[in-house]
A = this chain, B = another copy of it.
Amino acid sequence: MQDSGIKIVKTIDDMHQEATRLGLAGKTIALVPTMGFLHEGHLALIREAQRHGDTVVVSIFVNPTQFGPTEDFKAYPRDFNRDLYLARSAKADVIFAPSHETMYDNDHETFVQLKGLPDFLCGPSRPGHFRGVTTVVTKLFNIVKPQVALFGEKDYQQLAIIRRLTRDLSFDIRIIGVPTVREPDGLAMSSRNAYLSQEERLSALSLYQGLQIAKRMVTEGEITEANRIKEEVSRYITSHPYTKIDYVALCNPSTLKNINRVKEETLIALAVWVGTTRLIDNIVLKPR
């Protein structure tokens, strides 16, 4: 299906054929995997993808296997026509938008699982989440056959896991992380921001502001104790209504293992409930 310059592909067979056709023509493919409800963060990925591939494929699939039974799979915002408009405006070439039935047979039984990186940060709160992510990303890599795939740094742990997956399973794919895109006031772009009421939206800003407090503590105050930083950030965030901390963690940016002192580049990552919406954010702290 053609739609003024953007091609819409709905089945695995058709995407395989399209990828083969592009490969034979010597075109490189850059993949931007998304769950749709595109925002500026996704569009930044699409624009960056153009620098790395001849053809930019955006996948849109709300992947059921990465949602827990009590999570928001059904409520997750969807708007295909809006996504199509936005992807086209950012000059994507192909939209791969399969149905649930296309992606998972009734007797699907194969999963890709890491034994380490998924245990940190969001892992404990979201059992099975990263298994769903790594399984669907493996499928998307096999379906779209890209040379390059791009992921946002907002989902830092996901990016670290996908880098490891790509290496461990020997994919011939370059993984590119793209910096978090923020609203003018600092809130990290997320499809889930659509869930927030006006008042919750105000409280949600405390995630970004909390990260900035950590940054100042490290770079200006030369405070290095992880616990002191975590306490200060948590205290600041929970001073805002509707907020509840899931975690605030300081860890090694590669291994995601907790650190006690900020001696070198350190990831500070957090997950916070704002009302019934769980938001995440992170920055890398660079001590002087």
Which residues of A approach B to under 8 Å, CB–CB? 12, 16, 19-20, 23-24, 26, 103, 105, 107-117, 134-135, 138-139, 142-143, 145, 164-165, 167-172
Contacts and interface: CB of A to CB of B under 8 A. Distances in A.
9 contacts: A16-B172, A23-B23, A23-B24, A109-B115, A110-B112, A110-B169, A111-B113, A142-B170, A143-B170
B142 A172 contact: yes
B112 A116 contact: no
A255 to B, nearest CB: 9
Contacts of A167: 105
Contact of A138 (B20, B143, B164, B169): B169
Contacts of A105: 167-168
B109 A170 contact: no
Contacts of A164: 109-110
Contacts of A168: 105, 108-110, 139
Contact of A113 (B107, B113, B165, B171): B113
A134 B110 contact: yes
A267 to B, nearest CB: 18
Nearest to A102: B170
> Which one of A26, A111, A114, A135 has the highest number of Cβ atoms from chain B below 10 Å of its Cβ?
A111
Contact of A139 (B109, B114, B135, B169): B169
Contacts of A112: 110-113, 138, 169
Nearest to A111: B113
B169 A142 contact: yes
Nearest to A13: B172
Given A103-B170, A110-B113, A138-B138, 4 more contacts: A109-B164, A110-B114, A139-B168, A139-B169
A72 B113 CA distance: 26
Contacts of A117: 109
B26 A139 contact: no
Contacts of A115: 109-111
A108 B164 CA distance: 8
Among all A-B residue pairs, the 6 with the closest Cβ atoms? A110-B168, A16-B172, A109-B116, A139-B170, A142-B170, A143-B170
Nearest to A104: B168
Contacts of A114: 109-111
A156 to B, nearest CB: 17
A160 to B, nearest CB: 11
A70 to B, nearest CB: 22
